[in-house]
Chain A
């Protein structure tokens, strides 16, 4: 059952990712991207990372992609986008994508992923889940061990918000 679900979400994620690139209409691309994000959150559930799965859907699929959809629809990007792109940019992007893909496939074919899941780590995670629950297991290290990087990320986001506000005010 788990293997079946894994391959189902795998096919959905990869198919969606291909759809993003292939799709002619921007709205179609966006929906394929939502499919991919959703499928990846399905894989997170199979890895018992429930909180990550929920946050992936709430933040990426439910909020950020909705804003993208908003922008695409308001600007009415219905026309073919290829003519807007200079051919040089396009071919460089293709080459980069193909080489990254080739590298990943090569890595996968090597057989040895280079990082093995350790049983000790798995037990540690099990213990944390049992003690704090799905959300607490993430919150506990986030607000104790990693509180400084976490707060700095918060400040970074605040700066981004203020910056966006300043830009919007100037244009208005």
Chain B
């Protein structure tokens, strides 16, 4: 059976449905991530968390929403009115549109044709996400500045400095992914992972680590939540905001978390791909193919509705996993100092990212020159190279704390106990007597 992409009037119907459903689902996921954050935090701290509204507290986000809509909107007397109102809009918009280019499942066959499970498969793919997420900083900075409050202003400045700095490391870790996939569209990045026979988290392990760290900094989440460090800045750039405007900042923060989690899943864990080649599907020369063999013959894909459902479940599990990691890390690691955040970004992440791009570029060049076929062996060599680089990176960051372990710590203790020559010991009570 020949599969054709959906066309004509049904394409518009499918597009409207996709936009409506995906947008709604993202908003609902964002709402429930706020609940998950509070519940998981509570479990980590041995509390109950919000469990009064509905079964297991499941209606809590709705109660929060109603409360925020009904609360009084405040406008500080000295705030610049236009920018104060504009900031939540500017911060909300990018966090909601970036999801449009992320593929969420295998293509769905319908009687009218095959529907791709992605809102917009734009040719620039990941660059679209970068473009819009780089605009998010305006809302944060403007919110802090327009409030005319020193704490809010400092929070806004910190946020912009941090987001601009870590965008560099984020971009460098992405370059290795783009080099390996040879393309920037997310559908093709998933396809290349399917063809390689392994997800990019293995052949590009160090890029994965760098990307996760940068994404945490970009979303202003702990341990990088300097812009809203309570003990220093009250709540930073949204100190003066109340009611739904405050809520807009929270929604955008969680929206960025959801998008970043989906991106980590797509770039490094194969997106909607499940192990095995049964679910692979990609538009190649106008045909929906499962694999392209080395001699150019193509194996046609056979999309079904249950494959779409299963792959969507896979995508949801991977994204959910990263969301839980976000919350988990929040209660595991203490907050950095501001100068530590900056020196980590510029003195560790940036050089490491650059060196890693060189390493991966050289490895890919060598593999291509000796004619290694794109497949499991290709990935295995890259995995070995990246594994060494990752070990070196972690060993360097570790500074003999965890990997060298107890032995190093013992050595350190002995060293501090040894009294250097020339130091007169403190007299004991008997000697004084």
Contact = CB atoms under 8 A, between A and B. Distances in A.
Contacts of B167: 62-63
A25 interface: yes
A1 B54 CA distance: 46
Contacts of B183: 133, 135-136
Nearest to A55: B127
Contact of A133 (B80, B161, B184): B184
Contact of B122 (A25, A50, A63, A73): A50
B8 to A, nearest CB: 16
A20 interface: no
A54 interface: yes
Nearest to A72: B145
B376 to A, nearest CB: 25
Main secondary structure of the interface of B (DSSP, over half): helix
A35 to B, nearest CB: 11
A136 B141 CA distance: 35
Nearest to A48: B123
A73 B153 contact: yes
A62 B141 CA distance: 12
Interface in A111-159: 129, 133-136
Interface string B238-280: 0000000000000000000000000000000000000000000
Contacts of A50: 122-124
A54 B157 contact: no
A51 B164 CA distance: 21
Contacts of A69: 138, 141, 160
Contacts of A55: 127
Interface in A48-75: 50-51, 53-55, 57-58, 61-63, 66-67, 69-70, 73-74
Interface in B104-135: 122-124, 127-128, 130-132, 134-135
Main secondary structure of the interface of A (DSSP, over half): helix
B138 A54 contact: no
Interface string B130-160: 1110110110011001000000010011001
A28 B167 CA distance: 25
A25 to B, nearest CB: 7
30 contacts: A25-B80, A28-B83, A31-B142, A34-B135, A41-B131, A50-B122, A50-B123, A51-B124, A51-B127, A53-B124, A54-B131, A57-B132, A57-B134, A58-B131, A61-B134, A61-B135, A62-B130, A62-B137, A63-B134, A66-B134, A66-B160, A69-B160, A73-B157, A74-B157, A133-B123, A134-B123, A134-B124, A135-B178, A135-B183, A136-B183
Given A58-B127, A135-B124, A135-B184, 13 more contacts: A50-B122, A50-B123, A58-B131, A62-B130, A62-B134, A63-B164, A66-B137, A66-B141, A67-B164, A69-B141, A73-B145, A73-B157, A74-B157
Interface of B: 80, 82-83, 86, 122-124, 127-128, 130-132, 134-135, 137-138, 141-142, 145, 153, 156-157, 160-161, 164, 167, 178, 183-185
Counting from the closest, the 7 A-B pairs by CB-CB distance are A62-B134, A134-B123, A54-B127, A57-B131, A50-B124, A54-B124, A50-B123
